[in-house]
Structure 1
């Protein structure tokens, strides 16, 4: 069974557009570290969906070995992913993604969730979902926007 660890941005943006169902339909085991749970609660002040497991990382000391430019949630995502031998980390921040890859983790972002959802036939088109995300404050540069639409055959 595939294990996926999420950072706060995918949760916040998918909740804002009413598409948390995508996570539930795509992944069997969805985890967030406690640091991400705290971030989502502070920013969004709402409950985490029942299919998401909240886990405290075991190795708190490991945090000191990460760059201070990374957020607590991002660091905990990487540590938890290593601890539970996750198949995938979903992180949007570029620096955190690069660091995750250097640790040997498989990384995707919120847009990757949409691409996979289209591949699996869960959504018919990616463009309206991405446009909705942008309207709700998700930043995506024009080049990446066009690249995603191209990958999905919607250009």
Structure 2
């Protein structure tokens, strides 16, 4: 079965900061990134993760895709352009969206778009033996200012057998 996902900037940046962008291709056959999301992640080349995301795109880890109708969708749902582009593309391709931001996840659920997040990717990687432990990864994300709800962290650690 071919598994495709459309990524938003938050998870891309989080995985880039952890040097784990490669996990996307171990869990998804095809990763699509809207042009607006790619631009958001790489427009400032000195921002953390920007170079890794650009390198991942150049190596074919994911494909950049032009998306139309983004501004209208963003306005209708009060989302930023990147999130709106990710959800529009996920809806068009009938595939899950890789989104962490609460509002984007809520809109996706309202539209019937399956949602995966950074925590889900990391948990799947742990269960597949592609990462040794989740706790240090969650700690690193916290030091980068990445906020993950405590109940979500605890549930992932429990499912991974780390607590």
Instruction: Give the TM-score, by structure 1 length.
Output: 0.89
Does the C-alpha gap of structure 1 residues 59 and 71 become closer, same or farther in structure 2, counting only changes over 3 Å? Answer: closer
- The number of residue pairs the alignment matches comes to 153
In structure 2, the residue corresponding to 1:66 is in which secondary structure? Answer: helix
Which residue of structure 1 lines up, in the alignment, with residue 24 of structure 2? 23
Report whether the alignment pairs 1:114 with 2:122. Answer: yes
In structure 1, the residue corresponding to 2:129 is in which secondary structure? Answer: coil
Residue in structure 2 matching 1:140, options 145, 148, 158: 148
Asked if the contact 1:10/1:92 (under 8 Å) is kept, the reply is: yes
Report whether the alignment pairs 1:40 with 2:49. Answer: no
Structure 1 unaligned residues grouped into runs of 5+: none
Which consecutive segments of 4 or more residues in structure 1 shift more than 4 A? none
| Cα shift at 1:6 | 0.5
Rounded to whole Å, the distance in 2 between the matches of 1:119 and 1:18 is 18
CA RMSD between the two structures = 1.8
What is the 5 A alignment of 1:47-66? 47-49=54-56, 50-60=60-70, 62-63=72-73, 66=76
| Cα shift at 1:29 | 0.1
Does the C-alpha gap of structure 1 residues 48 and 36 become closer, same or farther in structure 2, counting only changes over 3 Å? Answer: farther
